[in-house]
Amino acid sequence: MAKVPVQFTLNGSDKAEFVDSGTTLLHALRDKIGDTSPKGGCHQGTCGACSVIIDGELRLSCLTLAETCNGATISTTSGLSESGVLHPLQRAFLDTFATQCGFCTPGMIMAAKVLLDHTPNPSRDEVVEALSGNICRCTGYEPIIQAVLTAARSNSQNAA
Amino acid sequence: MALALQTYATVKDANAALKAAGTRYLGGGTLVVRAANEGDVSVSGLIRSTEPSLSTIAVAGDKVRIGASVTMAAIAHHPDLDALAKAARAVGGPAIRNMATVGGNLFAPAPYGDFAVALLALDATISTDDGDTPIETFLANRDGSRAIVTSVSFTLPKADSFRFLKVSRVKPKGVSVLSIASVLERSPDGTVSSARIALGCMADRPMRAIAAEKALTGRSLTKDSIAPALAAARDGTSPITDPIASAWYRNEVLPVHLGRLLLA
Ligand code: FES
Ligand code: FES
């Protein structure tokens, strides 16, 4: 199978790889580039564990082919902390016990980040809607919703 | 197994490449990459086209043309397509809506394809390089269809004449038990002068509730006068059975939800 080049910006740094044509972005990120923060749950577009942000939009990396991302800007949860300091969403997930096994967490955080990037002070309903494509088998969702609302509040306090 | 992807600048070249055995068209990936991930070995090559017209929405007066690669999110956010926003938002969660295309939705097997139910009620026209096809004919023949869908076109419904309802067990995002879309024209006295009702999950693909449409014509939208239409709602249905609901259940609840839609 012929290899194809893929080149994109991942969490602020340039990445270039050769992958088999038809390789999913999830596979390229985890097994080629070594960013294991997006998780492969269902590979069917159902669970949201593989969610990443591509050019500002939430996407499922399990259903996205790596070679369609040439030139794109991609963010994953592993790029959120800065100099060892957790992002407010990561901090809030820990503080409110919104993560148990942690498998859904990177996808949840990406979905929440897109929401807060566009809607810094979301309502509870907006949070529920933003997370509606992400499945969690552990927490019962309520702590996750609280974590996102907490992160939004801490963001707006920092901005004030 | 990896799939080879070939990208073409024009639909014409992509159509030519699709003649090869084992090839499928790649839109947003939510159907075809899903199938490949699931181990569907009938897919060995993917073809896509980046022709810009595939990604544009054009609204001129009440005429709408939506390129086949336009996503559900783009429809939901378009200022002139308010009437359809609810149907576009019924598809998947936010990430799926950023990927799933209007062209792909026409091929989504039940319980998916809620937006195509809306397009069926709107009597949309489906365009390919081979010409235009009414949506009903298109859906009936979709399994054998090879030509790339380039756009869907329809006339925007008059204010309040379009209604859409998706029933799911999980809120706000869940797979359909069923979905219903209707376009109801009303006479000045409030009676229904023409009705188009489309159903999702009541067959393997969106279907019209023709008997219910007939029974509704000339009636006003009150509990008593819609009763014959509700009684006729199951005519010709053969719903799917899946982990969400059995065929029996879908048939049982269809009149209830149709009633709610009509009386809303
Ligand atoms: S792994 Fe992508 S949605 Fe589940
Ligand atoms: S924390 Fe385990 S799936 Fe969400």
**Spatial separation of the C-alpha atoms in residues B130 and B12, rounded to whole Å:** 10
- Residue B160's pLDDT is 86
Best of A18, A46, A54, A63 to disrupt the B interface (most B CBs within 10 Å) is: A63
Closest CA to B29 of A49, A23, A2, A106: A23
pTM: 0.95
Together in a domain, B72 and B150: yes
- CA atoms within 13 Å, Cβ hemisphere of A30: 17
Residue A23 one-letter amino acid: T
Together in a domain, B171 and B249: yes
Give the ligand at the shortest distance from the Cα of A99: 2
Which one of A50, A108, A132, A136 would you pick to mutate in the ligand 1 pocket, going by the greatest count of ligand atoms within 8 A of its CB? Answer: A50
- State whether B98 and A21 contact (CB < 8 Å): no
Report pLDDT digits (tens) over B186-202: 999 999 999 999 999 99
Whether omega for the bond prior to residue B243 falls within 30 degrees of 0, making it cis, is no
Closest CA to B93 of A104, A22, A2: A104
- ipTM (interface pTM): 0.95
The DSSP H or E segment spanning A37 is: none
- Domain of residue B229 covers 162-263
Together in a domain, B188 and B209: yes
Among B101, B134, B155, residue at a domain's last position: B155
Give the ligand at the shortest distance from the Cα of A93: 2
Closest CA to B95 of A72, A146, A63, A126: A63
- CA atoms within 13 Å, Cβ hemisphere of B41: 1
Report pLDDT digits (tens) over B140-183: 999 988 899 999 999 999 878 999 999 999 888 889 999 999 99
- What is the SS3 string spanning A20-31? ECCCEHHHHHHH
In angstroms, what separates the C-alpha of B53 from chain A's closest C-alpha? 18
- Total domain count, chain B: 3
Residue extents of the structural domains in chain A? 3-79, 88-159
Q: CATH says A88-159 is which class?
A: mainly alpha
Q: Where are the beta strands (DSSP E) in B119-171?
A: 125-128, 131-134, 149-155, 162-168
Together in a domain, B142 and B173: no
Whether omega for the bond prior to residue B111 falls within 30 degrees of 0, making it cis, is yes
Report pLDDT digits (tens) over A112-158: 999 999 999 999 999 999 999 999 999 999 999 999 999 999 877 77
Together in a domain, B132 and B203: no
CATH code at A3-79:
3.10.20.30
**Spatial separation of the C-alpha atoms in residues B132 and B82, rounded to whole Å:** 25
Together in a domain, B194 and B257: yes
Tell me which residue has its CA closest to atom 3 in ligand 2: A136
- Residue B170's pLDDT is 87
Q: Where are the beta strands (DSSP E) in A41-91?
A: 51-54, 57-60, 73-75
Q: Residue A159: pLDDT above 70?
A: no
Longest dimension (CA), chain A: 55
For residue B136, the Cα-to-chain-centroid distance in whole angstroms is 11
Contact by Cβ (8 Å): B151, B127: yes
Together in a domain, B171 and B250: yes
